[in-house]
Amino acid sequence: MVEFTAEEINFMKIALAEGQIAIEEGEVPVGVVFVHRPDSPKNTACSIDSSVSVSGPGKILGKGHNRTNATKNGTRHAELVIVDEILARGNPPSVFQECDVYVTCEPCIMCAGALSLLKIRRVVFGCKNDRFGGCGSILSVHGAPHLRHRYVADAGLMENEAITLFKSFYARENRQAPDTKRRKKGLSAVT
């Protein structure tokens, strides 16, 4: 079990706050924080080193949340939205080699693959994604031997808080969902 630092807990609190904003905007509550750690070793090796340590304070390079409903684009997951914002501010793609990502929920397979292409250093997530998880729950994209770049993925930071956030979202009706996908009040899920 990984022991997380006070600084890492604070970064996850920011990601959870972004997840709450997502709920208020009618989005799935995935919040993310990209933390630049130029004093830490770059993750350029092709092997996963579970001993990657956090050395020196990190600087938030970007933070945000899902924008799939607002943009009507299923690829606008929190991780990809913030990658685009970081690059739009003129940062070179190589900056991601010095970044750790804190996200409320395990990155999906698509996002886990994108983070590998960016050569991200490390991903820390709150709760697992048992439907689409790309960092161990469904696939282990982060450590796939055929990829040129693999990264460390640590699960369970503020897991209960992340689960609570998702439960609060799913307790509400998703107004953005098509009529055929909406829950009908008073009807059983089993027919």
Q: What is the pLDDT of residue 107?
A: 98
Task: Name the active-site residue from 18, 27, 79, 98.
Answer: 79
Residue 1 lies in a domain: no
Predicted confidence at residue 53, as pLDDT, reads 46
- Model pTM score: 0.84
Per-position pLDDT tens, the chain of length 191: 789 999 999 999 999 999 999 999 999 999 999 999 987 765 543 333 343 445 568 999 999 999 999 999 999 999 999 999 999 999 999 999 999 999 999 999 999 999 999 999 999 999 999 999 999 999 999 999 888 899 999 999 999 999 999 999 988 866 666 666 555 555 444 43
Domain membership of residue 35 as a residue range? 6-181
d(CA 27, CA 42): 33
Residue 63: closest CA among 18, 96, 98? 18
Q: Return the closest-CA partner of residue 2 out of 163, 156, 140.
A: 156
46, part of any domain: yes
Q: Is 24 a catalytic residue?
A: no
Q: What is the pLDDT of residue 181?
A: 59
In 3D, which of 78, 98, 88 has the Cα closest to residue 32?
A: 78
- The CATH number of whichever domain residue 10 belongs to comes to 3.40.140.10
* Residue 133 belongs to some domain of the structure: yes
Q: How far apart are CA 14 and CA 20, in angstroms?
A: 10
User: Is residue 187 one of the residues assigned to a domain?
Assistant: no
What total of structural domains would you count in the chain? 1
Confirm whether 191 is domain-assigned. no
Q: Return the sign of the alpha-carbon dihedral for residues 50, 2, 155, 102.
A: negative
